Amino acid sequence: MTEVSGKAAVVTGGGSGIGMGLAKELARVGVSVAIADILLDNARTVADEINAAGGTAVAIHCDVCERSSIEEMKAEANAAFGTIELVFANAGATSFASAAELTTSELDWMVAVNQGGVIWTALTFLPDMVEAGGGHIVATASMAGLIPSLVPVHTAYSAAKLGVIGFIQNLQLEVAEHGVVTTIYCPGGVLNGMRDNNSRYRPQRFGGPSDEQMRAPKASFKDNRLRFMTPDEVAPIVLRAVRDDRPFVFDHAEQRADFRRLYADVVESCFDDIERWEQEH
């Protein structure tokens, strides 16, 4: 059981969308929040809103694609709030480039922000948690990682997000004895800033920001009936999972069927094959 009230948190990508919703909900329940984002103005707007409402927040610039930037962000967060007990490694970006059009810099960016960013954020704050004898790391992955067949035209993103799931699940084995808990959050469709313009936060070394809109091709939405949740709706769901020390948290009940189908298919077809082979030999 992780009690969150009265603690200090970092939320990467807290200037928009899910991160913004998490930051506001954390502040509402009495958590001091460091909002880290590559777009500092957005982080400042969220922090100002929280402080004006009586909460406690600071805005910090951070590019999670650079380990040194995460370390600088941690130093600022520690200066503001001391030891950080709750880390929401949430910053991410998407790409709807088809596999045939995928460039080296696009793939590198997807992996750096969605996978490296989450991993290095977790590892940068972990030693303090181990020393303190506890802490909670929430890694935002995606249903597109857990069920890679869910969203077509999403190869690089799905690969990066699936990698996060593997990393965090394995990390849990190492950190349990130190009282550190991990939760993997797999959003399944939440209204966000990516829809306006994802490319505006592409770091310089991957081609830099641009005004280009990265709209998802129609084919990307297999299920057109999907109701996109709002950040305000999903934040309390995630915090409840954190309090309950859940290893995973999802936000769309209707994805249960896709999840079951994928894993049931694997179990039924693949294990059947090997069992048949074993019986024959």
Task: Provide the binding-site residues for ligand NAD, judged by CB under 6 A.
Answer: 12-13, 15-19, 37-39, 42, 62-65, 90-94, 113-114, 117, 140, 142, 144, 187, 189-190, 192-194, 201, 203
Alpha-carbon distance 51 to 46, whole Å?
Answer: 9
Identity of the residue, 12 or 182, whose beta carbon is nearer to ligand NAD in the bound complex = 12
> What's the rounded Cα separation, in Å, for the pair 195 and 186?
18
Residue 15 or residue 55: which is nearer to ligand NAD going by CB? 15
Give the SS3 label for residue 89. Answer: strand
Contact 153, 220 (CB under 8 A): yes
Active site residues: 157
Instruction: Considering the complex, state which of residue 71 and residue 272 has its C-beta at the smaller distance from ligand NAD.
Output: 71
Other Cβ atoms closer than 10 A to 59: 25
Mark out the alpha helices in the chain (DSSP H runs).
17-28, 40-52, 67-81, 104-111, 117-132, 143-146, 155-175, 194-197, 231-243, 256-265, 272-280
**What separation in angstroms does the CA of 183 have from each of 43, 73, 136, 191, 237?**
24, 22, 8, 21, 12
- Give the nearest distance from C-beta 20 to ligand NAD in angstroms: 7
Question: From the CB of 197, what's the least distance to ligand NAD, in Å?
Answer: 9
Q: How far is the CB of 250 from ligand NAD (least distance, A)?
A: 10
State the nearest-atom distance from the C-beta of 279 to ligand NAD, in Å. 42
